[in-house]
Amino acid sequence: MIPHRAPSPVDKLALAVVHAPERAMPAPVGAREESLRFLLQTAADAGVTVVATRPEGDGERLLGQAWPFPSPFQVTVRTVPIAEGVDRVEARARRSLERLGLPRGDALLAASAAELVGSEGRELWERMQALKDRGLFRRIGFCATMEDGPALLARRFQPDLVQLPCSLLDQRAHRTGVLDELASLGVDIHLSSVFAGGLLFMSGDSLPPEMNRYAPQLSRIRRRLAEARVDPMQAVLAYTLGLPQASAVVASAASAAELRAMLAAAHAPAPALDWGQLQLEQPAPVLATVRRISSAA
């Protein structure tokens, strides 16, 4: 009998590949694809099994050319905005699989839960369900924010999977019982935005001007981590990977070096911290500001 392998923190770690040039390591012309292959192979070797994608830019095509063979990954795909029409949403989901070089995907996620409550929301969900019924995706679900009321939407649509933000700085999904409610419905939960826009990794001097008013809170949290001799990345991953309701924690990486740093932090012993003292007092406006800055960049 083969003994069962002890659970590893990396079992829940999911990878979102960042294709932005400013995050990627400098590389000679023509080395971009090789760098991506190295990143994916590093993930596969470490036991990462989930890759989260977006239908933006050339990212899907690049991933499709770089998968290890045979690929060990379960791939989640997002829809394009419903403003392009439900026919376009369905066609683009099919096209995503073609670009990724996959006969089928693990999950298709409505990119915005808010679209499901709009005038075309029910038709959008039915199109997604039809793609699942045809075997193109094993599961369907949606990406939500806390403001969307994810548990209520889950009761209404009965998704297989819900992805929502949760981080050390924004613990609302955990503290308000939303994770428990989703889990009680039998919904798989993927946590996103776990690094909260990188806020814990910025000193006061490097914060965007719009974030200056939040600098004292962030400085206080960083100081508590420093006093406990805990690296911010270690704390972020220990908190999110330690939430039992979550089946995956989606973390972004642009290079194998970034991924290796995350893997080392994930494997570090879980620190004995009072997580409640490490969250922002009012995370919603802080993270809304981060999103506005990111979308304007």
Instruction: Indicate the angle between helix axes 86-100 and 121-133, nearest 10 degrees.
Output: 40
Give the pLDDT confidence score for residue 24 in this predicted structure.
Answer: 52
For residue 110 the two structure tokens come to 């409505």
Confirm whether 2 is domain-assigned: no
List the pLDDT tens digit at each of the 297 positions of the chain: 444 555 787 899 999 999 865 555 555 646 778 999 999 999 999 999 999 999 988 999 999 999 998 889 999 999 999 998 999 999 999 999 999 999 999 999 999 999 999 999 999 999 999 999 999 999 999 999 999 999 999 999 999 999 999 999 999 999 999 999 999 999 999 999 999 988 888 876 778 888 888 888 999 999 999 999 999 999 999 999 999 999 999 999 999 999 999 999 999 988 999 999 999 988 888 888 888 777 655
Confirm whether 288 is domain-assigned: yes
Give the pLDDT confidence score for residue 23 in this predicted structure.
Answer: 52
Confirm whether 25 is domain-assigned: no
Confirm whether 1 is domain-assigned: no
For residue 52 the two structure tokens come to 């989260």
217, 281 contact by CB (below 8 A) = yes
Q: How many domains does the chain have?
A: 1
Confirm whether 27 is domain-assigned: no
The structure's pTM equals: 0.92
Query: Which residue segment(s) compose the domain that 45 sits in?
Result: 10-20+35-296
Confirm whether 99 is domain-assigned: yes
One-letter identity of residue 16: A
CATH classification at residue 177: 3.20.20.100
